[in-house]
Amino acid sequence: MTDLSLVIRPERTEDASAIERLHARAFGPGRFARTAYRLREGAAERMDLGITASVGSFLVGSVRMGPVRAGATPFVMLGPLAVDPSFEGRGIGATLTRAAIEGARKAGEGLVILVGDAPYYGRLGFAPVPPGRLVLPGPVDPARLLWLELVDGFRDRAVGLVEAVRA
């Protein structure tokens, strides 16, 4: 992974402002227009599944998950995953993603979806959602809509428009 003194730990309420600053550094203002961001806007967050990475007192990475559903089938959406630009390429994003997936598995979740780069997330077990199977409420490159089944057979129940579970 890296030779940094990296501390991976669950997200805490007091991390919120540091995570917002991290998102601004990692994604810039264009993040507000993305479909995945819009889907999460105003939605509940699974604080129990949020993971952070720090070097000393500096928060260098974060991943969150939020509850979503397609029809009556609930599951979680991974994101945003953010790593400070000065710490990219050191395996922090993959480490955070693995920790979040393991947390979702332990919490009894059956499926994780995300919008992201298939080659990057494919090495973590994600695969493209078959075309038309799940639909997000906005434009998304279908090749970037990915899922990871945590419970065998769960994805058979996930069909239709994906909606955020509101706070």
* Domains along the sequence of the chain with CATH: 6-164 (3.40.630.30)
Peptide bond into 80 cis (omega under 30): yes
Whether 55 and 5 have beta carbons less than 8 Å apart is answered as yes
Q: How confident is the model over 112-132, as a mean pLDDT? A: 96
Give the sign of the dihedral formed by CA 65, CA 66, CA 67, CA 71. Answer: negative
In one letter, which amino acid is 93? G
Q: Alpha-carbon distance 20 to 151, whole Å?
A: 32
pLDDT per residue as tens digits for the range 72-105: 999 999 989 999 999 999 999 999 999 999 999 9
**Phi-psi group of 15: left, alpha or beta (phi > 0 → left; psi -120 to 50 → alpha; rest → beta):** alpha
Residue 3: what pLDDT? 59
Residue 4: what pLDDT? 64
Q: Which residues contact 160 (CB under 8 A, 6 or more apart)?
A: 70, 71, 134, 135
When pLDDT is cut at 50, 70 and 90, the band that residue 2 belongs to is very low
Q: How confident is the model over 161-165, as a mean pLDDT? A: 91
pLDDT per residue as tens digits for the range 27-73: 876 655 566 666 767 677 899 999 999 999 999 999 999 999 999 99
Residue 105: what pLDDT? 98
SS (H, E, C) 12-64: CHHHHHHHHHHHHHHHCHHHHHCHHHHHHCCECCCHHHCEEEEECCEEEEEEE
Q: How confident is the model over 110-117, as a mean pLDDT? A: 96
Residue 42: what pLDDT? 65
